[in-house]
Amino acid sequence: MRKLGLIWVTNRMHIEIYKYPAWGDVVEIETWCQEDGRIGTRRDWILKDLANGEVIGRATSKWVMMNQNTRRLQRVSDDVRDEVFVHCPKTPRLAFPEENNGSLKKIPILTDPAQYSRLGLVPRRADLDMNQHVNNVTYIGWVLESIPQDIIDTHELQTITLDYRRECQHDDIVDSLTYIEEGEKSSNGSAFAAPHPEEQRQFLHCLRFAGAGDEINRGRTVWRKLAR
């Protein structure tokens, strides 16, 4: 792929944690990728407590192939398919059950004014990937920068979804905006992930370029109340 000038870029990421591991716990991570349409692939994860086999988290992601020089999406060729998918499952296998699947839920367009914000975020060199773009971990951190402190103090992150819409590079300046999402309940097919509504808070997020205002990411987070 590299010789052909082709790269994978993230299109969507959805992570759910049903139970956080404690000190000394051993976590087993199972992951696999598979073809997803003509220009894409997906990678799924299942996290288990090794001691008892309990599923404590799941994640899924969608990626599209891009020509590194033209920045245009590229169809997956037979040569790339033979290289990338040779060890992948031949029949579709998904980390999340099809019924009540929160990973498919759309994130709406957000409008000003934001209820919470953190402005003027600047990428560091450590925030860049091998293609010199801001990496996925940094985007998650930027989203969390505009979460209100009282939520950080009293809740823990249960679910995060990010839709990736534009590339962000080393010289960009980013604003992180957060909005309360009213009247919504998380749905993800797990007994661990459905606390009482009064114990759960849900937010919508937007990362955008400062000044121009173009969207970089849209996001959604769900927070459950900490057990004291």
168 is an active site residue = yes
CA 150 to chain centre: 23
Q: Which residues contact 121 (CB under 8 A, 6 or more apart)?
A: 142, 145, 173, 174, 175, 176
User: What total of structural domains would you count in the chain?
Assistant: 2
- pLDDT at position 135 is 92
CATH number at residue 67: 3.10.129.10
Query: Of 136, 116, 119, which Cα lies nearest the Cα of 128?
Result: 136
- pLDDT at position 70 is 82
Do residues 64 and 117 both lie within one domain?
A: no
The model's pLDDT over 69-124, given as tens digits with 9 standing for 90+, comes to 888 887 887 777 777 787 788 888 889 876 667 788 899 988 778 999 999 999 99
Q: Of 95, 125, 159, which residue is a domain's last?
A: 95
User: Among the options 14, 133, 155, 205, which is catalytic?
Assistant: 133
Do residues 110 and 216 both lie within one domain?
A: yes
Pinpoint the alpha helices (H) of 85-225.
136-145, 149-154
Query: Of 188, 215, 195, 196, which Cα lies nearest the Cα of 204?
Result: 215
14 is an active site residue = no
Higher pLDDT, 145 or 39: 145
Contact (CB, 8 A) for 170 and 128: yes
pLDDT for residue 188 is more than 50: no
User: Among the options 14, 168, 205, 206, which is catalytic?
Assistant: 168
pLDDT for residue 185 is more than 80: no
- pLDDT at position 190 is 42
**Cα–Cα distance between 94 and 143 in angstroms, integer?**
26
Q: Of 95, 112, 131, which residue is a domain's last?
A: 95
Does the pTM exceed 0.95? Answer: no
33 is an active site residue = no
Do residues 26 and 87 both lie within one domain?
A: yes
Do residues 175 and 125 both lie within one domain?
A: yes
Do residues 53 and 126 both lie within one domain?
A: no
Higher pLDDT, 102 or 29: 29
For the chain, what is the largest distance between any 2 Cα atoms, rounded to a whole number of angstroms? 54
Q: Token match 């560091």: residue?
A: 124
pLDDT band at 24 (very low <50, low <70, confident <90, very high): very high
Do residues 70 and 128 both lie within one domain?
A: no
Higher pLDDT, 80 or 137: 137
Q: Of 42, 60, 95, which residue is a domain's last?
A: 95
User: Among the options 67, 100, 131, 170, which is catalytic?
Assistant: 131
Domain that holds residue 123: 102-228
Do residues 7 and 113 both lie within one domain?
A: no
